[in-house]
Amino acid sequence: MRIHNFNAGPAVLPLEVLQEAQREIAETAGSGMSILEWSHRSKEYDAVRFAAEADLRELMGLQDKDAWKVLFLQGGASLQFAQIPMNFATTQKPGGYVITGAWSEKALKEAEVLKAGRSLWSAKASGFVRVPRAGEWSAAPDLSYVHITTNNTIYGTQWSSLPDCGAVPLVADMSSDILSGPRDHSKCSLIYAGAQKNLGPSGVTVVFLRSDFLEHANKGLNAMLDYSVHVKADGIYNTHPTFAVWLMGRVLAWIKRQGGVSAMQAANARKAALLYAEIDRTGFWRGSAEAASRSLMNITFRARDQALEAAFLSGANERKLIGLEGHRSAGGMRASLYNALPHAAVETLVAWMREFEARHG
Interface positions with a second copy (CB under 8 A): 1-3, 5, 7-13, 15, 18-19, 21-22, 25-27, 31-34, 36-40, 74-79, 81-82, 86, 106, 109-110, 113-114, 194, 196, 201-204, 220-225, 237-244, 247, 320, 322-323
- Asked whether the beta carbons of 109 and 85 are under 8 A apart, the reply is no
Minimum CB distance to a second copy smaller for 2 or for 304: 2
Q: What phi, psi does 95 have (nearest 5°)?
A: -85, 140
Minimum CB distance to a second copy smaller for 151 or for 293: 151
- Asked whether the beta carbons of 104 and 111 are under 8 A apart, the reply is no
Distance CA 176, CA 197 (A): 6
In the complex, the smallest distance separating the C-beta of residue 132 from a second copy, rounded to whole angstroms, is 26
Minimum CB distance to a second copy smaller for 223 or for 351: 223
Task: Classify burial at 156, counting beta carbons within 10 Å of its beta carbon; exposed 0-12, middle 13-18, buried 19 or more.
Answer: buried
CB atoms within 10 A of CB 318: 9
In the complex, the smallest distance separating the C-beta of residue 324 from a second copy, rounded to whole angstroms, is 12
In the complex, the smallest distance separating the C-beta of residue 61 from a second copy, rounded to whole angstroms, is 27
Minimum CB distance to a second copy smaller for 75 or for 361: 75
Q: Residue 333 pairs with which residues in a beta bridge?
A: 301, 325
Contacts of residue 274, Cβ cutoff 8 Å, sequence gap at least 6 = 343, 346, 347, 350
Minimum CB distance to a second copy smaller for 72 or for 301: 72
SS3 105: helix
CB atoms within 10 A of CB 303: 22
- The residues that are catalytic are 103, 173, 197
In the complex, the smallest distance separating the C-beta of residue 195 from a second copy, rounded to whole angstroms, is 10
In the complex, the smallest distance separating the C-beta of residue 356 from a second copy, rounded to whole angstroms, is 21
